[in-house]
Structure 1
Amino acid sequence: MPQGRTIDYGTLMHRAMRGLIHDVLAQVAEEGLPGNHHFFITFDTQHPDVELADWLSDRYPNEMTIVLQHWFKDLEATAEGFSVTLNFGDSPEPLYVPYDAIKTFVDPSVEFGLRFETQASTHHAAPEPEPEPSPREERRGEPRGQAEIVSLDKFRK
């Protein structure tokens, strides 16, 4: 390898983790959610390729967390993102979320989670906050251990 070049582990990790999300969602689209698995997906509503109803983008101007658990339909995972229809107060709404817009992906049933650091957030001087408790801990107050969060900013310059 020529001097001065480096391996961009951050980009490689982002690609691999987004591929993992694609594979999981594609499997769920085909076979349904197995067992107690369910997902909390937080994404950047300002991402240029996100598609959601105007009233949802007005209500969630920066980020939004969706839950894939009891009721969802038309889940489709493509190479670039996923689309799904969710129910918001008896109003079914279709969404499209590119993988690049995802900030966190958590499956609390197995205490697994991924956190993606955006380029903009890596330029802030504020220290990285401690990982948040899994959604199960927040809902039920039962100590269940932390979700495994993979923070990719460690791999960036």
Structure 2
Amino acid sequence: MKKIVVFGKPGSGKSTLSKRLALATGIKLHAVDSIEFEANGERVDRAIYDKIHDSILSSDDWIIDGFGPIASFKQRLDAADTLIFIDLPYAVSYWLVTKRLLKGVFVKPEGWPEGSSVLKGSLQSYKVLKLCPKFWNKDFKQNLEKVSAGKSLHVIRSISELDSFVENYVV
């Protein structure tokens, strides 16, 4: 486990798991949102994003959390030795986005980009969740099986699996 990609629907616990993995392994964590967006929530220029992303992929070890542009997502899947797909039921993901929104009224979520609106981010997460069945479908899962040949693939389908992942897989 040296090059780890963590991905899944909005509100699936990617950031929380990625932080735990980084702490347990000592591998540097890179959140896609932090390289894709400015502190004010605006997208960075794509050429700048690609340069930063390529630099991360060329390093010896990394954890990358998130999705980002489809081309860079595919690059991460190819470059990684460990794929962690958090595939929680939609109701759970909607609940986790709602929980983040409600808590965000009082306390900015940990790791949330400075200057970014929790409300705007949550509304965007709801929009993306609505569109997810078009992407996170049977074809995606079949392609994931092909891409993961020779790699370690972990599919997390419940909160209990998510909560115990680091303890079960990081030695």
TM-score, normalisation: structure 2: 0.32
Structure with larger Rg: 1
Q: Name the one with the larger helix percent.
A: 2
Q: Which structure has greater strand proportion?
A: 1
